[in-house]
Every structure is written in structure tokens, then in C-alpha cells.
Amino acid sequence: DLKMGFVGLPNVGKSTLTNILAGACHAEAANYPFCTIDPNMVQAIVPDQKFNYLVKTYKPQSVVPAVLKIVDIAGLIRGASEGAGLGNAFLSHIAAVDGIYHLVRAFDSDEVIHVDDSVDPIRDLETIQSELCLKDKESLTKVLENEKNKIRKEKGIARSAEPPLGEVFKSAYDKCLALIESNTPVQTCEDFTMGEVEAIRDFGLITTKPQIYVINMSKNNFLRKGNKWLPKIQTWVNEHGGGQIIPMSCEFEQELMDLQDDKDAQQAFIDKCEEEVKAMGLSGPGFAVKSVVPRLIRAGRQSLCLQSFYTAGPMEVRAWTIMKGSLAPQAAGVIHTDFERGFIKAEVANFDDFKALHNGEASMAKVKDAGKYRQEGKRTSCKKVILLFLCIIL
């Protein structure tokens, strides 16, 4: 069960954003009873046009969309890696998530205090990144010690003597250390051999987790798609291994969400924002006023290498989550573990074929007639088939 976590200094907007996501979830909670809300964790519904299309077509009794779990990890401050603030407790919370939204404050406000007195996203990026890297450096020291002890034991070498390290371990360790010492997350370096990747997996580093940089700016900056810090942030991210940057505004999203029960008022708010954009002399599709929340959720899910396949019928339309590159039996195993063990074949159709062929019917008949309903065996990769209808034959 993979999760994303919000990480950032205090007062950058983490809990505001968590609440916004929970609010989006609340709005749908009537439809999705499983959508429990915890102050520190939201299960954000993954926006998915294919799923919505299936729901519209099948009109089932129940619907189960894919969700992305996101945890608000509060408490990171300068010195956390040495135990300041929540210190190690905080860092173990990061260790428990699989991907990181690194939230950075780029909005000015006299009312919201900044822990370091002034707004400077580059300094903040440095602070957070160096805390994560310092923690990883500490982990690497332990990894090295453990490896040495293991080899000493295996080879009967004395405690005081330096044991010979394996070649792959040594190169993986050296590369990680060099990255971490230059404040660069290990994740972003693609210069690893397969063997090194295997070794690094056992190192338990925080900075191997995918990171998405989320820039929280004022509503006005968000509407005009500009903020004086953005180019500098882009440069910093490029210099620290690259990564996706998502500019957004909690202020804008909050106002939009506060109006979600009144669609007319919400539209009026968007119209007003569009007027403001026009008044700034800006136009074109790049300046369309819309929420960034769907993009945020999709990006998190992609960074975790997750994708959906669907089952659809009159009782239920459901999106199931699998890792990219999963094989058909693993996909079946998500539905029920017995299905993986006893897997013989799956019957599947491609979503686009279904959409093109079903002719308004909530059935596979037309897809079958066209010869597009296939049986897939044990080695079929789910990348190849966006499984629509998975009927497991035991």
C-alpha cells in the first residue's frame, strides 16, 4: 500500500493542502464510504476519465475509484537530523512513505510567520534537502559498518582489521555518498548499474524516494502563472538532480474548495479570476483558471509507478491499483490472492477498443464481435493492456 507524504518547513501550507485534499474527498464521501478522513492522512481520489466513462456506461450499484494515500508529515525543522524538533521521529515518518511532495513557500504574508523570518524558497529547499541528506549520510555510515561486520563474520576477519568490500557494494556506496554530500537526492541519479540499484535498495535511504516539488504561491501569482522565485527554483532543482515542479496556490484552492457545495458560486469565482487574468493582459490556454489538485494527485501516483486496471459490471465498477510493469497474474492477485496462485488466464479488453466499439451498451458483446476481447496468459505485462475487464479463470 504505497503512500506519498507532504514534507516542508512549518507554515508552508502542508496542513492547509492536506485539508484541501480531504475537503475534495469529503465532497465525494457520500459516494465513497471507504473515504475515511484522518487529520494526518487523506485518501485522495485519483481523477480518472476512463473510470468515469465506465461508471457512466455501466451505471453500477457501487463504484470504487483508485485512491492515493497522502500523509501530512509535520515537524521538519533545521537540525531534525540531529534530533531537533521532532527529530528522528519525524524522519522515521518520512521513511514510512514511498514518495515525497516537497512543499515550499513562495507566498508573502505579514500574517504568516516564517520560521526563518523571511520568505526564501531556495534557502528552504536547501534546509530540507540537507536534513534529508544528513539523515541518509548517517544511514550510510551504519550500512557500511554492518556490511563490514557481515564480511568479517563470513571470512573470520578480526574486528580491528579492514575487510574487503564487494565491488558492487563499494561503487553503490561511493556514488550515494558523493550525491548525498553534494546535497543531491540519490533518487535523481540515473547513473547506476542494475547491481548497484539492487544494493541501494537495501540501504534504506530517504532520498531514494521520488520527490515532487510543490511551490505554494499567492493567488495572484498563481493566476498570472508567475512568481519571482520560480526561475530560481527551477535552476536549483536542475542543479540538484532535476524533478517535477508543480506551482500552485493554497489560497486559490482553499477559496475554490470553500465554494464546492455551491456550483454557481464556484463558477462565479472562476469567472472573476478569469477577469483578473484578462485585466493583467494575459490570455491563452496556458492561463486557464483551474484547480491544480487533480494534477497533484496524478503526479504523485505516477511518481510511485502506479497505474489502474478496471473491472466493470452492473454491480460494480472498480479501479484496481497495480505497479507499472506488473504481469497479469499479479493484477489478478490484487483482486484476490487466490487468483494469483491459481491463475490460468485473464480475459481483457483495451479501454480504447471498448470505448470505440461498445456502441452505448454496458456490455462486452460488441467488443467480442470485433475480435478485440482477448485472453491473456501468465506473461502478459499490464503495461501492454490497460485491462478493462478482468475475468479470472481458475
Nearest-5° Cα angle at 120, 119 to 126: 140
Shortest Cβ 16–ligand GDP spacing (Å): 3
Nearer to ligand GDP, 207 or 216 (CB): 216
Q: CA torsion 49→381→243→227, rounded to 10°?
A: -10
Residues 232, 153: Cα–Cα separation, whole Å: 50
CB of 251 to ligand GDP, least distance (A): 4
| Strand 306-312 with 62-64, pairing | unpaired
Which of residues 109 and 149 has its CB atom nearest to ligand GDP in the complex?
109
State which residue, 189 or 250, has the beta carbon closest to ligand GDP. 250
Cβ-based nearer residue to ligand GDP, 187 or 221: 221
Residues near ligand GDP, by CB under 6 A: 8, 10-16, 74, 107, 109, 112, 216, 218, 249-251
Give the distance, in angstroms, between the CA of residue 230 and the centroid of all CA atoms in the same chain. 21
Q: Is the Cβ of residue 255 or residue 347 nearer to ligand GDP in the bound state?
A: 255
Q: Which is nearer to ligand GDP, 57 or 218 (CB)?
A: 218
Write the single-letter amino acid at 291.
S
How far apart are alpha carbons 189 and 210 in whole angstroms?
A: 11
CB 325 within 8 A of CB 383: yes
Task: List all residues 6 or more positions away from 382 whose beta carbon is below 8 Å from its beta carbon.
Answer: 307, 309, 322, 324, 325, 326, 327, 328, 330, 331
Instruction: Tell me the closest approach of the beta carbon of residue 250 to ligand GDP, in angstroms.
Output: 3
Give whichever of 21 and 331 is closer to ligand GDP, judged by the CB atom.
21
Distance of closest approach, residue 12 Cβ to ligand GDP, in angstroms: 4
Q: Which is nearer to ligand GDP, 10 or 313 (CB)?
A: 10
Distance, CA of 125 to CA of 103 (rounded, Å):
9
Using alpha carbons, select from 110, 105, 103, 107 the residue that is nearest to residue 220. Answer: 107
**Is 219:250 a contact under the CB 8 Å cutoff?**
no
* Pair 222, 210: CB distance under 8 Å: no
Nearest distance in Å: CB 172, ligand GDP? 34
- Residue 228 beta carbon to ligand GDP: minimum distance, rounded to whole angstroms: 15
| Closer of 74 and 323 to ligand GDP (Cβ) | 74
The minimum distance between CB 207 and ligand GDP, in angstroms, equals 21
B/e letters for 169-185, b = 16+ CB within 10 Å, e = fewer, are: bebbbebbbebbeebbb
Residues 6 or more apart whose CB falls under 8 angstroms from that of 72 comprise 5, 6, 14, 15, 18, 39, 40, 41
**Are the beta carbons of 292 and 253 closer than 8 angstroms?**
yes
CB of 336 vs ligand GDP, minimal distance in Å? 39
Looking at the Cβ atoms of 129 and 216, the one nearer to ligand GDP is: 216
Report the first-to-last Cα separation within the chain, whole angstroms.
26
